[in-house]
């Protein structure tokens, strides 16, 4: 099917937007930066990561329209500044292209603040607490603490309130893996953050991010779906009427 993906849809991706391993402390009981897990989210001016994004957008008309697309996102750390309380903020430029033959188009900026205790990413004015330190398996936190549950997201012309179901307390470090293959790249250490895994008869909200040691975000998966189909025997991919399934994988 011919793709109808546009820049607005990829700005939506930035809204979602979008880490670490623990070991024994030093002799004085303090944890060093490696033990805290800071290496799962390295940030520096000039850092550049390219992602392949595979998406399925659902929109109900006379029947359910499914728009399948592949495109590419580039995130480039261009600059830093200090916020009002003195924390260092990294300016991340977001570029988009439909295929590898096209030039990159700058479509947006995100802002990432990394402190001794957490990482906050701001996309389109919304702040997400993406990680906390130290990184411990099963450790949880409220990643949406700065969001209103009535915040709306626009997907293919339809408005959603995913944060109504997306309880921010559901963020947790689900697993820490060794030598994990993601796409065509094997990473030595990867931490998986489960941000949401909600389901009822009419709604499905799933959000997962994976961060690799000394690299940063290497994989993101997002499902925001709703339906009017009560046939629970069908998988969500078949009974969804509105929303998106998105998988974003680092390729370089």
In 3D space, the residue among 12, 19, 15, 2 whose CA is nearest the CA of residue 219 turns out to be 19
Task: Reply yes or no on whether the pLDDT at 70 is more than 60.
Answer: yes
| Section 126-130 average pLDDT | 93
Inter-residue contact 242 to 7 (CB < 8 Å): no
| Section 189-218 average pLDDT | 95
Task: Say how far apart CA 38 and CA 40 lie, in whole Å.
Answer: 5
pLDDT confidence tier of residue 8, bands split at 50, 70 and 90: low
Burial of 57 (0-12, 13-18, 19+ CB in 10 A): buried
Instruction: Tell me what pLDDT residue 75 has.
Output: 98
Residue owning tokens 């991340």: 92
pTM over 0.75: yes
| Section 183-190 average pLDDT | 96
Inter-residue contact 220 to 18 (CB < 8 Å): yes
Task: Say how far apart CA 141 and CA 161 lie, in whole Å.
Answer: 21
Inter-residue contact 186 to 177 (CB < 8 Å): no
Instruction: Tell me what pLDDT residue 32 has.
Output: 74
pLDDT confidence tier of residue 156, bands split at 50, 70 and 90: confident
Inter-residue contact 209 to 121 (CB < 8 Å): no
Instruction: Tell me what pLDDT residue 27 has.
Output: 43
Give the alpha-carbon dihedral of 192, 193, 195, 200, to 10 degrees: 30
Candidate from 25-29, 60-64, 192-196 with smallest mean pLDDT = 25-29
Task: Reply yes or no on whether the pLDDT at 20 is more than 90.
Answer: no
Strands (E) in the chain, as ranges, are 48-60, 64-82, 88-97, 105-114, 118-123, 126-132, 140-141, 153-155, 158-160, 171-182, 185-199, 203-212, 216-226, 242-250
Q: How far is CA 69 from CA 72, 104, 246, in A?
A: 10, 17, 10
Rg (CA), the chain: 18
Task: Reply yes or no on whether the pLDDT at 242 is more than 80.
Answer: yes
């Amino acid at each position: 099917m011919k793709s109808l993906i546009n820049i607005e849809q990829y700005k939506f991706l930035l809204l979602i937007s979008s880490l670490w391993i623990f070991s024994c402390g030093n002799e004085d009981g303090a944890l060093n930066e490696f033990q805290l897990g800071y290496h799962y989210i390295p940030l520096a001016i000039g850092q550049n990561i390219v992602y392949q994004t595979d998406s399925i957008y659902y929109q109900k008309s006379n029947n359910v329209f499914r728009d399948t697309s592949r495109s590419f996102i580039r995130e480039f750390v261009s600059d830093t500044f200090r916020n009002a309380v003195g924390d260092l903020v990294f300016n991340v430029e977001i570029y988009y292209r439909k295929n590898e033959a096209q030039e990159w188009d700058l479509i947006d900026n995100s802002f990432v603040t990394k402190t001794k205790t957490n990482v906050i990413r701001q996309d389109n004015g919304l702040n997400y607490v993406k990680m906390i330190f130290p990184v411990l398996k099963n450790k949880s936190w409220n990643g949406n603490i700065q969001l209103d549950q009535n915040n709306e997201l626009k997907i293919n012309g339809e408005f959603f309130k995913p944060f109504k179901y997306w309880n921010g307390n559901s963020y947790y470090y689900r697993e820490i893996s060794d030598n994990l293959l993601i796409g065509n790249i094997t990473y030595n250490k990867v931490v998986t953050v489960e941000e949401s895994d909600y389901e009822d008869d009419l709604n499905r909200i799933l959000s997962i991010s994976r961060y690799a040691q000394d690299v940063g975000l290497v994989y993101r998966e997002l499902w925001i779906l709703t339906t009017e189909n009560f046939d629970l025997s069908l998988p969500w991919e078949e009974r969804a009427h509105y929303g998106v399934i998105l998988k974003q994988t680092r390729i370089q």
